[in-house]
Amino acid sequence: MSALVIRGQRVLLDGELRPAALHIDNGRITRISPYEGSTGTQTVDAGTKLVAPGVVDSHVHINEPGRTEWEGFRTATEAAAAGGITTLVDMPLNCIPATTSRAAAEAKRIELASQLHVDVAFWGGVIPGNVGELEGLARFGVPGCKCFLCPSGVDEFPHVGKDDLEEALPVLKELGLTLLVHAEAPGPLEVAEAAVEGADPRRYDTYLRSRPARAEDEAIAMVIALAKKYRARAHIVHLASGGAVELIARAQADGVAISAETCLHYLGFHDGDIPDGATHYKCAPPIRDAANREQLWKGLERGVLTQVVSDHSPCTPALKKPDTGDFVGAWGGIASLQLGLSALWTMARARGHGVAQVWRWNSEGPAQLAGLQRRKGKLAPGFDADVVIWDEEKSFVVKGEALHHRHKVTPWAGRTLQGVVEQTWVGGKLAYSAEAGLAPAQGKFLSVQQ
């Protein structure tokens, strides 16, 4: 008899909802049997609530060590567990030291020991001059490395140029690592910034005009050319330019190994939603207009974009400059980790998508990108027993005090979202339940070997 059976009338298996029972031993799903008559030493019956894979968020900034006052492993993973997210991949910047060497990765791993409520992997970083560190990062277990093509906002993570990528890409390819790119070209940004000089910094329009879509489009064209030249794998993080979807689609049709994600806030908001001074909407690239948002949705629906992530990037409330509403001076980054599943479901359902599509975007796609596709993102024998039991009919109003993020500032506050997490299981252990709240931290670090 299995140690644990989680069963229900609506279990998401291979893109379909059907009655089934998940048998779980030693943290893994060992087999899947019919619902009727399946029990374990412990049996959890979800009834008609949805039983689905735990969500994978492959784009999260946790900022620890070094900027733990912005966010930390304990608070971020508590928020994840409460939001039905069972795996996070932490970005290499905003923590100090930045994750650009094996030694830095090891230091971060020590920092997070015993704090994890869900499983966590790391991205490494590519900065000028660290090509010699990439092999060590691969051995440590990062699935890929991220770079910036424009200033990142923190001094410890300088941006790279084309020459740096010409050096790094063949090495990444050899190591089996994906290059993740913050794709905004510095040239068009400088021109645009000069053009808004003297404009009112409280106006959202001032900030939006300072980061035009052509900066993304130009950078993405360069990344495509380099990925093609070196036959390397590249991934565009947080795509905000709807116009770039076509560029990426053409490259994919041409056989270039390029993928892209977009974020909750680009799908949920447009510039008309953002009042002047409302700096909690500030992120880079910026939230653009409604027609652009429609292009991003179309990109997802066509399968050009394969995933939706939070890009949870919080800071202390003061750095958002709420007193002055200064869009130019405020930190760029939106906090939304805990809300990802419900926010995406609310938006996707309104567009006629079902839960299977939502889980392709928020679990299968991110698991694939992070090299975790053989253990995360699906309910199947051999996969980790990461499960969310979810009531997709129930709605709630987002209130800051219900968020486990270290800071409660988020542009989603006050909005009504659909879908409430009943239980989150990580590796066959209950991590969160609506009834009892958070369980003690039992998540683990994931080393990803390509």
> Cβ 363 to Zn ion, closest distance in Å?
19
What are phi and psi for residue 440, nearest 5 degrees? Answer: -55, 155
Pick the closer one to Zn ion by CB: 71 or 311. 311
> Cβ 40 to Zn ion, closest distance in Å?
40
The 303-322 site mask, x for binding Zn ion (CB under 5 A), equals --------x-----------
> Cβ 39 to Zn ion, closest distance in Å?
44
> Cβ 52 to Zn ion, closest distance in Å?
25
Pick the closer one to Zn ion by CB: 70 or 432. 70
SS3 readout for 21-34: EEEEECCEEEEEEC
Distances (CA, A) of 40 to 3, 43, 45, 202, 368: 6, 5, 11, 59, 31
Pick the closer one to Zn ion by CB: 366 or 428. 366
User: Which residues have C-beta within 8 Å of that of residue 276, sequence separation ≥ 6?
Assistant: 200, 202, 203, 204, 325
> Cβ 313 to Zn ion, closest distance in Å?
5
Does position 57 bind Zn ion by CB under 5 A? no
> Cβ 288 to Zn ion, closest distance in Å?
17
Rounded Cα distance between 311 and 288, Å, is: 16
SS3 readout for 251-294: HHHCCCCEEEEEEHHHHHCCHHHCCCCCHHHCCCCCCCCHHHHH
Rounded Cα distance between 326 and 282, Å, is: 10
Pick the closer one to Zn ion by CB: 83 or 332. 332
Residue nearest to Zn ion as judged by C-beta position: 311
User: Which residues have C-beta within 8 Å of that of residue 30, sequence separation ≥ 6?
Assistant: 2, 23, 24, 381
> Cβ 238 to Zn ion, closest distance in Å?
6
Pick the closer one to Zn ion by CB: 79 or 171. 79
Interface with Zn ion (CB under 5 A), residue total 1
**For 447, which DSSP code?**
-
Contact in structure between 445 and 44 (CB atoms under 8 Å):
no
Pick the closer one to Zn ion by CB: 203 or 405. 405
> Cβ 263 to Zn ion, closest distance in Å?
8
Pick the closer one to Zn ion by CB: 311 or 326. 311
Pick the closer one to Zn ion by CB: 96 or 387. 96
DSSP states along 311-378:
-B----GGGG-TTTT-TTTSPP-B--GGGHHHHHHHHHHHTT--HHHHHIIIIIHHHHHTT-TTTSSS
Q: Which residues bind Zn ion (CB under 5 A)?
A: 311
